[in-house]
Amino acid sequence: MIITQESKIKDVLNSPAGHDIIARVLYSVGLDENLLKGFIGNLKLKHLSKLSFGKLDDNFIDSLLNILNSQANVEDDDCEIKKVWWKQATFYEIYPRSFKDSNNDGIGDIRGIISKLDYLKDLGVDALWICPFYDSPNADNGYDVRDYRKIMKEFGTLQDVEELIAEAHSREIKIIVDLVMNHTSDEHEWYQKALQGDPKYSNYYIFKDKPNNWTSCFSGPAWKYVKEKDKYALHLFAEKQIDLNWENPDVRQEMYDVANFWLEKGADGFRLDVVSFISKDNYEDGNEKLGKLIGFTGIEHYFHGPKLDEYLRELNDKTLNKHHAYTVGECPGNGLKMSRLITGDDRNELSQLFSFDHIDNPGKVRFLDDNFDLRKMIPELVRWQTQYSNHCWPTIFFDNHDNPRMISKISKGEKYREVVGKLLALLQFSLKGTPYMYQGCEIGMDNTEFLDMSEIRDIESLQYYEQALKQGKTKQEAFKIIMTGTRDHARTPVAWDDSEYGGFSSVEPWIKANPSYKHINVKAQEKDEHSILNFTKNINKYRKAHQSLIYGTFKQVKTSKDYFVYTRKLDEEYLIVMNLTDKNKKYPVNTKGTLLFNNYPEIKNELRPYEAHLYKIN
């Protein structure tokens, strides 16, 4: 069916793209998509402008129509969940630069990871996602790849990586390599040959005579002038990260060869960096109003381009399938229904993906979300528990290398840090989906109080700061914004003990060590049976031993905004009860059963701030 401005909104919702874009619009203005089930669903699409309080216009609707009428649809069936290793596994993300320094140069490295494999095994980790370790000039800490087959000198050698894979496998830990396929460094051999006029490589990147109005995800224009070619090159991220032209079959084959290189080295799969951006539909100007709403002008032209599904299937056919490799895609902008298109086990595209809508509250973006409300995160989690097809499987994460620490977003300071850390662990290991831990979350590492911009290393934050100054912010105002959203909060060195620099290195690290290492560190928590670390170990171990917490049905029991109450049921039944506020609350339900996990040392006759329980129903 062709969608037009005269189509009803409820008809648009039958399209995965239509559902996710309109849901995103409502989410961005703080409205619940359940409104669409009532009279709003009978409104015509042309009325969307009024529904969004004028934040969208006819140009946006025209852009939406182009997307809707080019996307496929998938009919769901009542299938059983297929049981595979990665649905049962616990994943752990490592940011090598900040994990462990083995040679005391202030920079984490591959041998540092090897030295902590026994710790990770004891934690109950089944697979490691390791952020890029390729040769790179480090404009974006490895996400600007100069050579996909060489290792960054600070991190070690190819032999070190081969040893890491072998040592991990000997402990039954799989290795997931971070593969950056959307762009390369401008120092990559392909780009340098393109600048020299080599006809083969000139079509490896996206050069245009004139730029459009797209903005970079790191702020500012998404185009830079290239004097050597008298053209503009597209960079959706930093200026040194130049987008590859996936329309060129030679580019695709190059990337498939890279994937095969690492799979033949023993990698068990890939985390695919911003993979949903690799297909662009055209290079027309982006809708300005949508850009202000989402944060990036032009994203409607590439967040799920017309050939993305084709490219992912080709990637599977030429690399992944013959190695039985796992994939998880970073897919900003993809909502629940479009995610169904690329992660369904009947689609031959991705195994899983990361959705980020729960990380920031509705209508907020990372650098401006300084009053995070845990209660507003829950409806988004529930959507993925209840509406994601059985052909798909969600990822459950609250931290990664690109976001401030969730523990600090929920509760600033030390008062509730420990109970919030345990609440997040209980949530992560009791929801349906694959838990993805991020280094340091298992000990409740928190945000760092950087003193000024001289201590900031993140290129995104540096560019955002300069942009804020250009917009008239004072240095103090701009720095406050950076402190709210900088990725550096997640990138401070892991605190292994209370020695100088937290045992990460014997010399000053590449980035400031969080002073909290004196009391928040692995060594201290290993000795404390009530620590976040031991709580995480225990609930992770329990989940692995009980299929109901993996494959069991999810049912929300109570919908009051101050509580999150749900059950998981298969051969056994579990009840999870959480207080989502910093106030004492009455128990919302009858808690008959055996209490297995609690984030406070004792039970009282009411729920204390952020108190969380897991019961086994007898």
The sheet with strand 352-354 has its strands ordered as 352-354, 326-330, 269-273, 174-180, 127-130, 91-94, 434-438, 395-396
Q: Are 272 and 234 in contact (CB under 8 A)?
A: no
In sequence order, which ranges of 37-157 are alpha helices (DSSP H)? Answer: 48-51, 58-68, 85-88, 110-115, 117-123
Name the 3-class secondary structure at 568.
Answer: strand
Q: Which of 93, 109, 186, 273 is catalytic?
A: 273
Name the 3-class secondary structure at 346.
Answer: coil
| Residue in the structure block whose two tokens are 């850009």 | 291
Q: HEC string of 446-503?
A: CCCCCCCHHHCCCHHHHHHHHHHHHCCCCHHHHHHHHHHHCHHHHCCCCCCCCCHHHH
Q: Which of 33, 239, 309, 330 is catalytic?
A: 330
Residue 143 CA to residue 183 CA, distance in Å, equals 9
What number of other Cβ atoms are within 10 A of residue 369's Cβ?
17
Give the tokens for residue 225: 């002038």
Distance of CA 451 to the CA centre of its chain: 27
The gap between the terminal CA atoms of the chain, to the nearest Å, is 51
Residue 527 CA to residue 530 CA, distance in Å, equals 9
Residue 607 CA to residue 496 CA, distance in Å, equals 33
| Residue in the structure block whose two tokens are 């990725």 | 487
Residue 288 CA to residue 297 CA, distance in Å, equals 6
In sequence order, which ranges of 37-153 are alpha helices (DSSP H)? Answer: 48-51, 58-68, 85-88, 110-115, 117-123
DSSP string for residues in 518-560: GTS-HHHHHH-TTSHHHHHHHHHHHHHH-THHHHSEEEEEE--
The answer for residues whose C-beta is within 8 angstroms of residue 414's C-beta and 6 or more apart is none
Q: Are 112 and 121 in contact (CB under 8 A)?
A: no
197 sits in the region (left: phi over 0; alpha: psi -120 to 50; else beta) called left
Of 517, 487, 490, 489, nearest to 504 by C-alpha is 517
The answer for residues whose C-beta is within 8 angstroms of residue 347's C-beta and 6 or more apart is 74, 309, 313, 341, 391
239 is catalytic: no
Residue 180 CA to residue 242 CA, distance in Å, equals 11
Residue 309 CA to residue 312 CA, distance in Å, equals 5
What is the maximum alpha-carbon separation in the chain?
75
Give the tokens for residue 310: 């084709």
273 is catalytic: yes
Distance of CA 224 to the CA centre of its chain: 27
Q: Which residues are catalytic?
A: 273, 330
